[in-house]
């Protein structure tokens, strides 16, 4: 990792790292240009190397935001992982610079946008076009796996297209390395994006990183060739039930060979699912395929290294370091709510104010959850109606609905035998009272602090 070591005091350091100029902002040898994107942690700007004239993308991360969001380990993991990877189909990290308040990741600039945008604007690709992109995707993923890197968040948004129409895999913030494996040889952090996550990840019993990545590649292939997702539903519980079944509908226009490959990849049983090595031997995949051997690149001369600029941020234990008896620190639902780069639609749905939905996970059994919900709301002075396993929580006149009469429906969905989703759905009523109700229930049912913050911001 290459970091800029500046220790001449905060004022001198900032002046040395970022110099204002008439033509734009300067970051050492780089001139910063327009903003390419903006997220929860900072911005990504187009930059030009003034010595070579080459364009780069510089990811500017605010250290205080990283600490506040408790994603220090995620950022360190992304930096460490990208420094290992040098492949034509993986976005390259060239160097990392740091100031007292910011981290700057100098990345390869990919000017063709996301594969997601390409499919969204132009629709599905032909099998020959899709096959070429899928071959490159598998090449890149296979290379990562051979390096001991498991991406864990492969999706269309994390696959970029360059000017020549070639793909570049990006965003390794949720990636895992061999040291993150537990004693059983499996990964246990539940993460990823809902529509692309593998069934075994949802079950939260440990999973193989390579096998789960393969599933995500299958979802990407399906979207490339059809223009839509194989498993989709606005209700997160229903979506995960569809994924667990793994029964994706195959359009008539797909060739039998393509259908067969997709079915073998989207096999809900990870033990019988096709492997990356087997995909490379598949008849459909091999058409026009030339295996790629990434050239060995010479180690670049590193600038003065200040790893402590990143390492000094608060460390969090990896999967392998955590006590097996301790609860999982991050699950899919928390990640969805924590990061702006992940889809929020299935977790907190910003609908009309009169129908706000909030969901959170629990390991309590449904009967116990409903009893806890009922006892809590009764203590708060609400009326409760029970019907078909659902609770209707009401305040005020039972026969009227209006701004002063809160009405909330509560329902529990089963994701797996040990994982449940509680959904609160407001029909009408005072948002302040609704906030109080949600915070009380979150306290009683043990919702995480990150979710409580989101309750505050979303209600």
The pLDDT > 90 percentage for the chain reads 32
Whether the pLDDT of residue 173 is over 70: the answer is: yes
The pLDDT > 70 percentage for the chain reads 68
pLDDT in tens, 34-69: 988 876 667 889 999 999 999 999 989 888 888 877
Whether the pLDDT of residue 452 is over 70: the answer is: no
User: What pTM value is reported for the model?
Assistant: 0.61
pLDDT of residue 31: 92
Whether the pLDDT of residue 308 is over 80: the answer is: no
pLDDT in tens, 87-115: 999 999 998 888 888 889 899 999 888 89
Model confidence band, residue 6 (pLDDT cutoffs 50, 70, 90): very low
pLDDT of residue 354: 35
Based on the fold, state whether residues 99 and 196 are members of the same structural domain: no
Range with lowest mean pLDDT among 18-27, 74-83, 240-249, 298-307:
298-307
Based on the fold, state whether residues 384 and 405 are members of the same structural domain: yes
pLDDT of residue 62: 86
CB within 8 A of 411, min separation 6: which ones? 389, 390, 391, 422, 423, 425
Query: Is 101 among the domain residues?
Result: yes
Q: Which residues are annotated as a binding site?
A: 59
Q: Which residues are annotated as a binding site for ATP?
A: 59
Based on the fold, state whether residues 174 and 282 are members of the same structural domain: yes
The one catalytic residue among 68, 117, 139, 153? 153
Question: Which domain-ending residue is among 109, 133, 151?
Answer: 109
Whether the pLDDT of residue 371 is over 90: the answer is: no
Based on the fold, state whether residues 96 and 156 are members of the same structural domain: no
Question: Which domain-ending residue is among 52, 74, 109?
Answer: 109
Question: SS3 of 307, please?
Answer: coil
**Nearest by Cα to 98 from 303, 297, 285:** 303
Based on the fold, state whether residues 30 and 131 are members of the same structural domain: no
pLDDT of residue 180: 67
Based on the fold, state whether residues 123 and 96 are members of the same structural domain: no
pLDDT in tens, 262-272: 999 999 999 99
Which DSSP string corresponds to 41-76?
A: SEEEEEEEETTT--EEEEEEEEHHHHHHTT-HHHHH
Structure tokens at 369: 């959850």
Range with lowest mean pLDDT among 74-88, 91-105, 429-443:
429-443
Cα–Cα distances in angstroms (integers) from residue 21 to residues 4, 31, 63, 81, 398, in the given order: 20, 9, 25, 34, 66
Model confidence band, residue 375 (pLDDT cutoffs 50, 70, 90): confident
Model confidence band, residue 273 (pLDDT cutoffs 50, 70, 90): very high
CB 73 within 8 A of CB 55: no
Based on the fold, state whether residues 55 and 149 are members of the same structural domain: no
Q: How many residues does the chain have?
A: 459
Across the range 198-206, mean pLDDT stands at 87
Residue 328 sits at φ, ψ, to 5 deg, of: -65, 130
Based on the fold, state whether residues 248 and 159 are members of the same structural domain: yes
pLDDT of residue 67: 80
pLDDT of residue 131: 97
CB within 8 A of 87, min separation 6: which ones? 139, 140, 143, 144, 294
Model confidence band, residue 350 (pLDDT cutoffs 50, 70, 90): very low
Based on the fold, state whether residues 410 and 355 are members of the same structural domain: yes
Across the range 285-299, mean pLDDT stands at 71
Distance from C-alpha of 88 to C-alpha of 291, rounded to nearest angstrom: 12
Element (H, E) at 96: strand 93-98
Distance from C-alpha of 121 to C-alpha of 118, rounded to nearest angstrom: 5
Query: Is 307 among the domain residues?
Result: no
pLDDT in tens, 113-133: 889 888 988 899 999 999 999
Across the range 147-166, mean pLDDT stands at 90
pLDDT of residue 231: 94
Model confidence band, residue 22 (pLDDT cutoffs 50, 70, 90): very low
* CATH classification of the domain holding 248: 1.10.510.10
Q: What is the domain range of residue 205?
A: 115-286
pLDDT of residue 11: 47
pLDDT of residue 432: 76
Whether the pLDDT of residue 438 is over 90: the answer is: no
pLDDT, the chain, mean:
74
* CATH classification of the domain holding 38: 3.30.200.20
Q: Is 208 a catalytic residue?
A: no
Whether the pLDDT of residue 445 is over 80: the answer is: no
């Amino acid at each position: 990792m290459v970091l800029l070591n500046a220790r001449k005091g905060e004022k001198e350091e900032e002046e040395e790292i970022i110099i204002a100029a008439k033509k734009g902002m300067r970051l050492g040898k780089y001139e910063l240009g327009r903003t390419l994107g903006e997220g929860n942690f900072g911005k990504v700007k187009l930059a030009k190397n003034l010595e070579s004239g080459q364009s780069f993308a510089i990811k500017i991360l605010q250290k205080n935001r990283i600490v506040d969001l408790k994603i220090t380990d995620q950022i360190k993991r992304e930096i460490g992982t990208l420094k290992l990877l040098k492949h034509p189909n993986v976005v390259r990290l060239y160097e990392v610079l740091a100031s007292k308040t910011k981290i700057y990741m100098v990345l390869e600039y990919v000017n063709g946008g996301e594969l997601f945008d390409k499919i969204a604007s132009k629709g599905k690709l032909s099998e020959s076009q899709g096959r070429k992109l899928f071959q490159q995707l598998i090449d890149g993923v296979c290379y990562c796996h051979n390096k001991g890197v498991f991406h864990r968040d492969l999706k269309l948004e994390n696959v970029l297209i360059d000017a020549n129409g070639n793909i570049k895999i990006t965003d390794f913030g949720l990636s895992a390395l061999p040291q993150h494996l537990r004693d059983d040889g499996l990964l246990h952090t539940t993460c990823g994006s809902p529509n692309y996550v593998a069934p075994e990840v949802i079950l939260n019993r440990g999973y193989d990183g390579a096998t789960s990545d393969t599933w995500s590649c299958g979802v990407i292939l399906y979207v490339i060739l059809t223009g839509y997702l194989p498993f989709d539903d606005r209700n997160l519980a229903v979506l995960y039930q569809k994924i667990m079944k793994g029964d994706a509908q195959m359009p008539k226009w797909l060739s039998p060979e393509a259908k067969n490959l997709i079915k073998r990849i989207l096999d809900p049983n990870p033990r019988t699912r096709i492997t990356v090595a087997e995909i490379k031997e598949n008849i459909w995949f091999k058409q026009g395929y030339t295996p790629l051997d990434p050239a060995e690149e010479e180690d670049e001369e590193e600038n003065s290294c200040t790893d402590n600029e990143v390492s000094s941020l608060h460390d969090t234990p990896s999967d392998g370091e955590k006590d097996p008896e301790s609860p999982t620190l991050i699950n899919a639902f928390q990640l969805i709510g924590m990061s702006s780069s992940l889809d929020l639609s299935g977790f907190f749905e910003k609908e009309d104010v009169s129908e706000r939905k909030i969901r959170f996970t629990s390991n309590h059994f449904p009967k116990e959850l409903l009893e806890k919900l009922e006892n809590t709301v009764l203590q708060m002075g609400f009326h409760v109606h029970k019907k078909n396993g659902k609770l209707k929580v009401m305040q005020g006149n039972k026969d009227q609905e209006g701004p002063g009469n809160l009405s909330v429906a509560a329902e529990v969905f089963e994701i797996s035998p040990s994982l449940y989703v509680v959904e609160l759905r407001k029909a009408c009523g005072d948002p302040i009272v609704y906030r109080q109700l949600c915070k009380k229930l979150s306290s009683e049912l043990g919702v995480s602090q990150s979710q409580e913050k989101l309750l505050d911001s979303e209600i």
